[in-house]
Structure 1
């Protein structure tokens, strides 16, 4: 089973007087990258959420949204740092006097400054809140992973189909390759006939030249390696671990062997087949960018 790096999931429950909503979404990325949106009152949960998600996925750019709304009276208290509020007010007065502007700050405005109001939680409250958030997070992750799995199945089918296309084209190249040697031999024989006219043509020389040509344009080593890469590709796709980077490497190798075949070809039909293979490899490359 393979997983796409594109996914979305949402969880929502009311637990212990709090309406908790967690949204998780991700897109493809070379590594695991995490970002979040939540009230600073719950920032102490951020690292726990990150570790929980990272234990479930290996790669992707992940964004988490956490919203917690009280629906019942709770024991959580808000404390005001009056000294800090006074310091803010005095600083505003200093600015006001320096600039000759009125100080329009009110209590509500000052309360919004960082640290003036803080939410007080004892250890038991914090642990309970994390357990509740984690429960909702797992609901979101179930949906999130299901979407990544469904997208991964589509990628798997598409890449497997394209590998089969490449394999069939390579077989056609193997069939066409020997014909080039025979065509070269006949062309060389005709050319010598035109030059020598009534003189005896050295068949041994023609065979030697044809053998040299055959060795020069032989692609059997390249096709063998392509088959091997395709076999490894299928094995990795059917495995059970993150595989995106391994597939990146194999895709580069497939492309390299195909380029070598193209450089050896002086035949239009084989050149066209090489172009077809490269088109399929490029489509595969695009698809595996989203495989975890």
Structure 2
């Protein structure tokens, strides 16, 4: 589910920014970006995010900025710099990369600069997790607003399918009557033929009528729609359950479409499929 949360702390020595972004996804996928000062808390942070967010693609980041030169100027680790430079010079030919270019690349390598650890004294576990809790609260508030909008939209889409189904029920008797007319016309043609096997014809007729009957599919789809509304009204997280119900709705709609053999009903089936696709897309917004 889409969400966003942000919390910040600032004093005369440093500033801390905590940001959470969540996007729609069937499963929980957490990506974290943490500075070295708080990396030891990564597993604990992921556990909290898993418990709170449950579902979605989550990008979590913490940024720490030092002020007044505290820890901002790194000290060159000369021994490590010389080691990296020697190794690269051995591996790369002179005509491929100059000494200046190699030095530039070495400066980008890990731990070439050593920074002051002064910031560590300012970042307590209590402060860090208080900021995370605040950012999560903002994210949950955002997701709740999105959830209310999603609930309203899903209810509307399901209602639209129900209305189309009601029209199909109205048209079904006319469809059956048209089938009977065609069958009677065929019977008149066959009655004049001496090659007709009455028993065989009766069996084929029963099979044909059963194949075109959509009464059971209509009843099952009505039940699925009712169950969808009931599930939508529940307070607990029901995103996956709504997804499963929409799949069952899709099966019945497809079967009605394949059996109908009627252009008006086929048009209504297409409309129901369109509403169902909206449901499937919106269900991704439900935890």
Q: How does 1:24-173 map to 2 (within 5 A)?
A: 24-71=20-67, 85-93=78-86, 95-96=88-89, 99=93, 102=99, 113-115=109-111, 117=114, 120=117, 125=121, 129-173=124-168
What RMSD in Å do the two structures reach over aligned CA positions? Answer: 3.8
1:194–1:136 Cα change, 3 Å: same
SS of equivalent residue, structure 2 residue 65: strand
Partners of 1:112 and 1:190 lie apart in 2 by 86
Of 181, 193, 218 in structure 1, the residue corresponding to residue 176 of structure 2 is 181
Do residues 216 (structure 1) and 187 (structure 2) align? no
Residues in 1 aligned to 2:204 and 2:171: alpha-carbon distance in whole angstroms: 19
Match of 2:3 among 7, 16, 19: 7
CA apart distance, 1:256: 0.9
Partner Cα distance (1:109, 1:190) in 2: 87
Q: Deviations over 1:206-232 (max 9, x none)?
A: x99987655332212111111121122
- How far did residue 37 of structure 1 move? 2.5
Q: Which runs of 5+ in 2 are unaligned?
A: 193-201
Q: Which moved more, 1:274-283 or 1:234-243?
A: 234-243
Query: Is the Cα–Cα contact under 8 Å of residues 15 and 132 in structure 1 kept in the other structure?
Result: no
Per-residue deviation, residues 31-78 of structure 1 (Å, max 9, x unmatched): 21111223223322322322222221111111112112345898x9x9
Question: Which of 239, 263, 287 is the equivalent residue of 2:282?
Answer: 287
1:251 alignment partner in structure 2: 246
Deviations 1:181-229 (A, max 9, x none): 23333444456568879xxxxxxxxx99987655332212111111121
Which residues of 2 match residues 220-231 of structure 1 at below 5 A?
220-231=215-226
Is 1:41–1:119's contact at 8 Å kept on the other side of the alignment?
Answer: no
TM-score by length of 1: 0.76
Confirm or deny: 8 A CA contact 2:260 2:266 kept in the other structure: yes
Instruction: Return the alpha-carbon distance in structure 1 between the equivalents of residues 106 and 266 of structure 2.
Output: 73
TM-score (norm 2): 0.78
SS in structure 2 opposite 1:30? coil
Aligned to 1:242: 237
Residues 16/134 of structure 1: CA separation in 2 closer, same or farther (3 Å cut): farther
**Residue deviations 1:130-184, cap 9 Å, x none?**
2112111222222211111111111111110111111122122222222222333
Q: What is the number of residues matched between the two proteins?
A: 274
Q: Which residue of 1 aligns with 2:196?
A: none
For the residues of structure 2 that align with 1:184 and 1:113, how far apart are their CA atoms? Answer: 78
Q: CA deviation at 1:258?
A: 0.9
- How many angstroms apart in 2 are the aligned matches of 1:69 and 1:10? 16
